[in-house]
Amino acid sequence: MPQKIRKVIIPAAGLGTRLLPATKAMPKEMLPVVDKPVIQYVVEEAVASGIEEVIIVTGSNKRAIEDHFDYNYELQNWLKKQGKHQEREEVKRIADLAHFVYIRQKGPYGNGTPVLNCEELIGDEPFAVAFADDLFISEKPRLKQLIEVYEEYGEPVLTAIQTDREGTKKYGMIEGVKIGKNLLQARSIVEKPGPDRTKSRWGAVGGYILTPDIFPILRKQKRGRGGEIWLVDAIATLMKTRPVYACLVESKYHDTGSKLGLLKTNIEVGLARPEMKAELRKFIKDLVK
């Protein structure tokens, strides 16, 4: 039986330049989707998947993330005095979600660096990686779907989404041998090849189950696109020494790292909220008219 996945790394040190000026002083991970910051949805997904420890890799101007997942006794006491018990319980629940660990990113830009920064915290355990601007909505959490594949095969697992011809220009495309309805043994990830250079329609997006043998690869990893250290490049190297699987997740994927993506996500999540969907739907219909 493979070792239990207990920890998730959430890189959160990016500058959020695609969302300026909103992110000039506010972490992009704290921008709201309806009434919760994006990163809270990611943490809740991890906890619902069985994760016990959340390691958030931050940078400067990210203090708000730590404050959000901390106890705010002044706010809790004020809510209690006002008789707002439901709101008080929700504020407390956020801090009780998991055991939180925060470290500062040190090293070159790129999403491989924050993972490498966590090597001593991970030790010899398998672990999950989730990005704070990728929101997956489904009955079974996306990370849980990846963990179930890991529990069966004991090997690293990638998140894949079904895409179309146009999507081959937007995503890295996972190529390999299909071994099940939603499972592929990956052979390569081709970066945005376009429909003429790949037959695959499995798009690679953020979210992984990784094993600790990724760390020595990351330590030696040469800088890639943009002079940055990319996690996917290290995973491509890992594929040469052991099987790596891709799980086609049954989840709705939202990229909240762009202005339009964040706006679309707010609308869709708002329409799913029973207390606001009727009024919001009416507003949209009137707006279109």
**186 or 2, which is more confident:** 186
Res 226 pLDDT > 80? no
User: pLDDT of 100-129, one tens digit each?
Assistant: 999 999 977 888 899 999 999 999 999 999
The pLDDT of residue 158 is: 96
Res 228 pLDDT > 90? no
Res 74 pLDDT > 80? yes
Res 224 pLDDT > 80? no
Position 264 in a domain: no
Position 267 in a domain: no
The pLDDT of residue 183 is: 95
Query: What CATH number does residue 199 fall under?
Result: 3.90.550.10
Overall pTM > 0.75: yes
Average pLDDT, the chain: 91
3-state secondary structure the chain: CCCCCCEEEEEECCCCHHHCCCCCCCCHHHCEECCEEHHHHHHHHHHHCCCCEEEEEECCCCHHHHHHCCCCHHHHHHHHHCCCHHHHHHHHHHHHCCEEEEEECCCCCCCHHHHHHCHHHHCCCCEEECCCCEEEECCCCHHHHHHHHHHHHCCCEEEEEECCCHHHHCCEEEEEEEEECCEEEEEEEECCCCCCCCCCCEEEEEEEEECCCHHHHHHHCCCCHHHCCCHHHHHHHHCCCCCCEEEECCCEEEECCCHHHHHHHHHHHHHCCCCCHHHHHHHHHHHHC
The pLDDT of residue 78 is: 92
Res 15 pLDDT > 80? yes
User: pLDDT of 252-278, one tens digit each?
Assistant: 999 898 999 999 999 999 999 999 999
For the chain, the domain total comes to 1
Show the domain range for 111.
Answer: 7-257
Percent of the chain whose pLDDT exceeds 90: 69
Position 1 in a domain: no
Res 227 pLDDT > 80? no
The pLDDT of residue 111 is: 86
Res 40 pLDDT > 90? yes
Res 159 pLDDT > 90? yes
Position 277 in a domain: no
Res 3 pLDDT > 90? no
Res 185 pLDDT > 80? yes
Res 34 pLDDT > 90? yes
